[in-house]
Amino acid sequence: MGGSRSVRFPVMTASEFRVLVRGRFDAPDQETRAELVAAADDHDLLRAAFTEDGTLTYERSLNGFTFRCTVTASGERAEEDARVEGELKAAEVLDNAGWPYRGLGSSATNMDDIKIRRG
């Protein structure tokens, strides 16, 4: 009989993505506006970081906001999947706070593609 034959499948490795989600507050009522302004110091740009849970930053003008998070994804659609997951995380944070929003858009950077210059 014939010898055994080994079949190799490509290994899908997961990559870490930094996802940046941008959006706008959607006509918050007076009470929500006051709540957002009161919390603005906790959402200052100086506190921005890419974390698994994400960080939300905005200015007191309440024109727009940015949500930063890290997402692990793999496969051919990894970047798109990371963007979608980042937008879902942002929506969850905003929904839980009761803050209306619109126009979410995102970009994702695969950290495997970033070259660090040492020297």
Sequential pLDDT tens for the chain (119 residues): 555 666 665 556 889 999 999 999 999 999 999 999 999 999 999 999 999 999 999 999 998 999 999 999 999 999 999 999 999 999 999 999 999 999 999 999 999 887 777 76
Domain 15-112: which topology? Alpha-Beta Plaits (3.30.70)
Best CA proximity match to 102, nearest among 32, 35, 22: 22
The distance of Cα 42 from the centroid of its chain, to the nearest Å, equals: 18
In the chain, domain spans: 15-112
Q: Is the pTM of this model over 0.75?
A: yes
